[in-house]
Amino acid sequence: MFKALVARGALMLAFLIGSGNAGAAVPDGRSPTRVRIIHDRFVLVPVTVNGTGPYSFLLDTGATSTMLSPTLATRLRLSAAGSAVQETATHAGPVALVRASLAVGRVACRDVEVITTPLDAVQELDRRIAGVLGQDVLRSTNWWLDYQGRVLVADTEGKYAPRDLGERVDVHWHGERPAVDVLLPDRQSLRLVLDSAASSPLLFHEVAGASTPADGWARLTTHFGETRARQVVVGPIRVGTLVVPPFAAAMAGNRAADRAEDGLLPTGLFEGIYFDNRAGAVVFNPRRSALSDQP
């Protein structure tokens, strides 16, 4: 039910900038897209940009804005749209914005303001990655991310939502990033952002009862560079009635102390997730038999 996580080498790509004004055009029904999964957890999605491509984008449910490599933005001659501040778990800095139209399968978002920035850390995963797909596109409809079947299904009419997929867990949006509340054994509650671009959990605050392993350090990588992070063991945690076994997590530095949420929870920990963005809920490990049924 749960995948093993590699705590060392945690790649954190949660960005805290506002998304541009996007007009979403979605068709009737469902739109499945075959995806590639690398390193057993990172999802690569084919995305068209201004009608060209498709290009390989890293799916990042913890990013508020989509990003493009400067090489692709220059090649497509995308119009400049100002600048913004990009913030990661360890650093913040200015980035340029460009305007583009994006499509995943038949789901299109037109005239979106996206970040253009070097993607060196992301491209270490796969040199063919040309961008990062964020919530400015993803929140436009409901999605079923099926790791086991290696498919991303756009449920544009919400036809899966009323079906018995499993337990529904409320989502709390923090700066356009979806978070869920989890419980520790001592009943302490944590609010964790669901992040498909995180290889391992990340905590922004100290957690009571967390233990430190003998080799208690992890590598934390963002676009602004690499740093070492203290590693702790947390859990088990409970998400609704689902119990996640104890796991190793990296501790962010002091920059994260004022964050409203408590950390990041990788979606790659699960076999799949249904994001009901219309109702503000998710289903972990949804019943895959529903994928082959006509809703």
pLDDT tens string 61-72: 999 889 999 999
Give the span between the Cα atoms of 136 and 64, in whole angstroms: 6
pTM over 0.75: yes
- Picking from 15, 4, 8, the residue whose alpha carbon sits closest to that of residue 195 is 15
Tens digits of per-residue pLDDT, 13-36? Answer: 433 333 333 443 333 456 689 999
pLDDT of 175 above 70: yes
Give the span between the Cα atoms of 13 and 217, in whole angstroms: 19
- Helix or strand (DSSP H, E) at 236: none
3-state secondary structure of 147: coil
Give the span between the Cα atoms of 283 and 277, in whole angstroms: 11
Tens digits of per-residue pLDDT, 99-121? Answer: 999 999 889 999 989 999 888 88
pLDDT band for position 192 (cuts 50, 70, 90): very high
CATH number for the domain formed by residue range(s) 6-21+29-160 = 2.40.70.10
Q: What is the mean pLDDT of residues 214-239?
A: 70
Residue with tokens 């995948």: 3
pLDDT of 133 above 70: yes
- Picking from 167, 253, 180, 169, the residue whose alpha carbon sits closest to that of residue 217 is 253
pLDDT of 257 reads 54
pLDDT band for position 8 (cuts 50, 70, 90): very low
Which tokens go with 98? 């460009």
Residues 6+ apart with CB under 8 A from 246: 233, 234, 235, 236
Residue with tokens 């960005």: 15
Identify the CATH homologous superfamily for domain 168-284.
Acid Proteases (2.40.70.10)
pLDDT of 56 above 50: yes
Q: What is the mean pLDDT of residues 73-93?
A: 72
pLDDT of 146 reads 94
Average pLDDT of the chain, as a whole number:
81
pLDDT band for position 38 (cuts 50, 70, 90): very high
Tens digits of per-residue pLDDT, 252-274? Answer: 765 555 678 899 999 999 999 99
Q: What phi and psi values does residue 72 have, to the nearest 5 degrees?
A: -70, -40
Q: What is the mean pLDDT of residues 131-143?
A: 93
Where in the sequence of the chain do the CATH 2.40.70.10 domains occur? 6-21+29-160, 168-284
